[in-house]
Amino acid sequence: MNESKNEVIRLEGVGRKFRTAEVETHALTGVDLAITKGEFVAIEGPSGCGKSTLLSILGLLDEPSEGRYLLADQAVETLGASARARLRRERIGFIFQGFNLIGELSVEENVELPLSYQGVGRAERKQRVKEALERVEMAHRARHMPSQLSGGQQQRVAVARAVVGRPLILLADEPTGNLDSSNGKHVMELLGELHQQGATICMVTHDPRYGEFADRSVHLFDGRLREQAAEA
């Protein structure tokens, strides 16, 4: 793989093994992957192929058993736990299948939470929350609680929470998995709009329809990259 100055993520020979007393399972084997700034990449494949494991490694929620991972040219494998947590907090925005909103907090409080962890001042937090909710067309629901929202609306709030910290990359784990087809399409259109505005996105999906929103798709099969297709 030839390195690019615009690379946000670079994996070289990444593998992930899980061991029990009697069995060693290879979830990922020899994965090479580069994602450049402003790119929208879909990681596709059947259940159990290693997609979520790969996304966990990209999001610094898990560590590879072997290989090299560079995030913005920084070698992740050299970092301690606190440095990894800080890098994850400052550089990565997560969009989960299950929304993961805190039920006791309002919409605006949920979106504001990552900024509190980053130490952003109160006035700037309020302004950035307002802007993020406007981007996903949920500003009118700022004072509502998650239980008062539909699934599609909750996912829009989750997207706002992911972008409010202005991360280097958005990682989306089956972002339409808990939605019906109509709301799923709307969320994908929203991700497409964010991409057009310059966001770098890496999304895990088992649905090839949603992979079509990406610039290219990386296909995983039994923990290995099977093919890499550029958009026509």
The one-digit pLDDT tens for each residue of the chain (232 residues) are 555 568 999 999 999 999 887 788 889 999 999 999 999 999 998 888 899 899 999 999 999 999 999 999 999 988 899 999 999 999 999 999 889 999 999 999 999 999 998 889 999 999 999 999 999 999 999 999 999 999 999 999 999 999 999 999 999 999 998 899 899 999 999 999 999 999 999 999 888 888 889 999 999 988 998 755 544 4
Distance of alpha carbon 106 from alpha carbon 115, whole angstroms: 15
Q: What pLDDT sits at residue 232?
A: 42
Nearest to 160 by CA among 218, 94, 211, 222: 94
Question: What is the pTM assigned to this prediction?
Answer: 0.90
- Report the distance separating Cα 155 and Cα 161, nearest Å: 10
Q: Quote the CA–CA distance of 3 and 73 in Å, as a whole number.
A: 10
Query: In this structure, how many other beta carbons lie within 10 angstroms of the beta carbon of residue 138?
Result: 21
Q: Which domains can be identified in the chain, with CATH numbers?
A: 7-230 (3.40.50.300)
How many CA atoms, within 13 angstroms, populate the side-chain half-sphere of residue 125? 15
For residue 206, what pLDDT is reported?
84
What's residue 5's pLDDT?
65
Query: What is the torsional sign of CA 16, 90, 37, 160?
Result: positive
- pLDDT of the residue at 55: 92
